[in-house]
Amino acid sequence: MSARTKARKRALDILYAADVRQIPITEALAAEAGRAASEPDRQNSWLYAREIVDGVVDRFSEIDETIESYAQGWTIARMPTIDRALLRIGVWEILYNDEVPAGVAIAEAVELAKTLSTDDSGGFVNGVLGKVAQAA
């Protein structure tokens, strides 16, 4: 598993924890930063995970508006928590990180959705992120 794949999973954990615990993302990020300081062997994945989470926080409103505009018939609040976090990561990578090809961002998000969420989540995440990528 690549360092970026691990970083995406780590960012997902942070966004998911904040959402489920109903705490600010910055608080969940700070808790993870404390753990990261004691794990120097995971430094590579931590740096990109932090970049993702910081990017999502910085563009939170725009990202959620984008998701809702392409998730026909779905509001952010109605989505499974994992899907919501994966879509936030995917939209940030597609729209705001030029270093990641859209296809990679979509494939990584879909794989995590298939592994961690509902049976329908892979297709849902793929459809929404595919529309975002086409419009970008």
Query: For the chain, what is the domain count?
Result: 1
User: Which CATH number do you get for residue 65?
Assistant: 1.10.940.10
Distance of CA 35 to the CA centre of its chain: 20
DSSP-derived letter for residue 1 is -
Looking at the predicted structure, is the pLDDT value of residue 24 above 90?
Answer: yes
pTM value is 0.93
Query: What average pLDDT score do residues 88-110 get?
Result: 96
What is the residue range of 32's domain? 3-135
Kindly list the distances between the CA atom of residue 37 and the CA atoms of 12, 24, 42, 102, in Å, as whole numbers in the listed order: 19, 21, 9, 31
Query: What pLDDT band is residue 108 in, cutting at 50, 70 and 90?
Result: very high
Q: What is the structure's pLDDT at 20? A: 95
